[in-house]
Amino acid sequence: ETGVTQTPRHLVMGMTNKKSLKCEQHLGHNAMYWYKQSAKKPLELMFVYNFKEQTENNSVPSRFSPECPNSSHLFLHLHTLQPEDSALYLCASSPSSGTETQYFGPGTRLLVL
Amino acid sequence: AQSVAQPEDQVNVAEGNPLTVKCTYSVSGNPYLFWYVQYPNRGLQFLLKYITGDNLVKGSYGFEAEFNKSQTSFHLKKPSALVSDSALYFCAVRALNSGYSTLTFGKGTMLLVSP
């Protein structure tokens, strides 16, 4: 409904697994973002991509690895995660850097066992 | 550094009554201010924003917010609440002079509207 889709919607993985989250936006935007949402905590910005270039890495552990092959697609590669990484991972996009309104996808609910 | 405070974890209101969800902010320079709403199992949905101009901003679903520079507040309001307004509400701020569109969010306020 918002033009930003995320797959999968739910993911359960063990600590030794490798998985990837996918985000796609159909809005013609040039900036994309990954956020982590944990209960009772503010949204945590993880990564920002602007015109496919990573412009911000908010001190995210290396077990999270983003990839932005083009302005419409954003991936978050996951490996050797910890149980505390369980959260809702939200993708967002905006027309370009300096443009304020971000549009969010529905999120991927991740559970790390 | 910019920050947002939402002092209430939860707001309870009866249907038909007015509602207010509070937000205060701290930012260098003039702020961009936003409200987003999140329904269960959904992403955040944009409600309204303040950039400049009229301090009273009108948004989706009958919501409005009032920018108060002296009190550094941007409270969300609605004259008559609906049960369907029950959701998690986030306030966010972005500094006007920052180079990228990075927002700082509050921790969210759960709004519960009872029939």
Task: Give the C-alpha separation, B60 to B3, whole Å.
Answer: 24
The pLDDT, as a whole number, for residue A52 is 79
The pLDDT, as a whole number, for residue B79 is 97
Q: Do A42 and B105 touch (CB under 8 A)?
A: yes
Q: Could you say which of A92, A97, A101 has the minimum Cβ distance to residue B100?
A: A97
Cβ of residue A5 closer than 8 Å to a chain B Cβ: no
Q: Could you say which of B34, B100, B105 has the minimum Cβ distance to residue A56?
A: B100
Of the candidates B92, B96, B95, which has an alpha carbon nearest to the alpha carbon of residue B104?
B92
How far apart are the CA of B114 and the nearest CA of chain A, in angstroms? 22
Cβ of residue A103 closer than 8 Å to a chain B Cβ: yes
Q: Can you state the percent helix, strand and coil of chain B, rounding each to 5?
A: 5, 50, 45
How far apart are the CA of A94 and the nearest CA of chain B, in angstroms? 8
How far apart are the CA of B17 and the nearest CA of chain A, in angstroms? 26
Cβ of residue A45 closer than 8 Å to a chain B Cβ: yes
- pLDDT band with cut points at 50, 70 and 90 for residue B53: confident
How far apart are the CA of B99 and the nearest CA of chain A, in angstroms? 6
Quote the longest CA-to-CA distance of chain A: 39
Q: Could you say which of B34, B100, B107 has the minimum Cβ distance to residue A41?
A: B107
Whether the Cβ atoms of residue B12 and residue B112 lie closer than 8 Å to each other:
yes
Is the pLDDT assigned to residue B52 strictly greater than 90?
A: no
Q: Which residues in chain B have their CB less than 8 angstroms from residue A109's CB?
A: 41
Lowest mean pLDDT, pick from A80-94, B7-21, B74-88, B90-104: B90-104
10-residue averages of pLDDT along chain A (113 residues): 88 92 94 90 88 80 93 95 94 78 93 94
For chain B, give the mean pLDDT.
91
- pLDDT band with cut points at 50, 70 and 90 for residue B95: low
The pLDDT, as a whole number, for residue B90 is 96
Task: Give the C-alpha separation, B42 to B35, whole Å.
Answer: 16
Tokens for A95, please give them.
């027309």
Is the pLDDT assigned to residue B103 strictly greater than 70?
A: yes
